[in-house]
Amino acid sequence: MTAVATLCAVVLGGWLTLRGQDRLWRRDTERQWRDIRLKAYTDFLTAMRELVAYLLTPTAVVTAVPRQSGEGDDMPFFDERGTRHKERLEATKSAIRLVAGTATVVEATDALVRRARLVAVARAEHGPDAIPPERFTELWAAERAFLRDARAEVGLVRPSDQ
């Protein structure tokens, strides 16, 4: 009887240890994914802000060309400096597609990039001081939507965000 009790205690102890280690591993993995996502989201927002800052410089060279697909929006093309900003924005957008945990974050990312492109098209048609204000209103609304969805995904929701 003592041997059976000892064996049961060893099995129970082993099972509890495994369960605890599994819980720690899951928590660590979740923390790693959270950190990866936060970095990707931060890099994306930085790239977007850098592109907008570039668009507001007087020396920015941007042209707008109608899309061949007939989607209606013109496509902005940049000089060498602007191309670096655009490529960084596109690369960080792709990184988000790789690590995002929800479709809403990906959709918010796409919407924000679309709004940034519309600002670039407006910059091609106007000077840096004459970009229509509604383009920026739409851009900042898309940024707020992205931030709301990204914060919710990584668990950084404040009571005022709900």
pLDDT at residue 159 tops 70: no
Write the pLDDT tens digit of every residue in 12-63.
778 777 787 778 777 888 899 999 999 999 999 999 999 999 999 999 999 9
Q: With beta carbons less than 8 A apart as the criterion, state whether 47 and 112 touch.
A: no
For residue 141, which phi and psi values (nearest 5 degrees)? -65, -40
pLDDT at residue 89 tops 70: yes
Q: Work out the number of other CB atoms within 10 angstroms of the CB of residue 141.
A: 13
Q: What is the mean pLDDT of residues 133-146?
A: 96
Q: What is the pTM of this model?
A: 0.81
Select the more confidently predicted residue: 72 or 2. Answer: 2
Q: Which alpha helices (DSSP H) does the chain contain, by range?
A: 2-55, 80-99, 103-125, 133-154
> How high is the pLDDT of residue 71?
60
Whole-number Å distance between alpha carbons of 42 and 156: 14
* CB-count burial class (<10 Å; 0-12, 13-18, 19+) for 160: exposed
Whole-number Å distance between alpha carbons of 80 and 77: 10
pLDDT at residue 160 tops 90: no
Whole-number Å distance between alpha carbons of 83 and 62: 10
> How high is the pLDDT of residue 69?
66
